[in-house]
Amino acid sequence: MENFDQTMMFKRVADDEKYQARDVFAVVYGALKEKGYNPINQIVGYLLSGDPAYITSHQNARVLIRKLERDELLEELVGSYLTKLDNGE
């Protein structure tokens, strides 16, 4: 029998198990492309609306993209774009 008087410990997700926005985008982009969708339009639709129906469930892409907040995804996109501009690309 368990002792419910003691505080239970919650096991936090290790840092190496966290999802990286760059990796999420790679999987989602590939899954959308494989299914014949325009990945850019679909991802923009998701980011603007928050509606996961814009993302296919193929390759578990819909579940994967919802593991990160939309602001984290936008931060990755803007940061990557501005870094390339700063580097003259």
Tally of structural domains, the chain: 1
Residue 64 is part of which domain span? 20-86
pLDDT tens digit sequence for 36-77: 999 999 999 999 999 999 999 999 999 999 999 999 999 999
Q: Is residue 12 part of a domain?
A: no
Q: How far apart are CA 73 and CA 54, in angstroms?
A: 15
68 lies in some domain: yes
In a domain, 8, yes or no: no
The pLDDT value recorded for residue 61 is: 97
Specify if 74 maps to a domain.
Answer: yes
Percent of the chain with pLDDT over 90: 74
Q: Above pLDDT 70, what percent of the chain?
A: 84
**DSSP assignment string, 4-18:** TTSPPPP-PPPGGGS
Q: Does some domain include residue 26?
A: yes
**Statement: residue 23 has pLDDT above 90:** yes
The model's pTM is: 0.77
Question: Which one-letter amino acid corresponds to residue 5?
Answer: D
- Does 43 reside within a domain? yes
CA distance 73 to 66: 10
Residue 1 lies in a domain: no
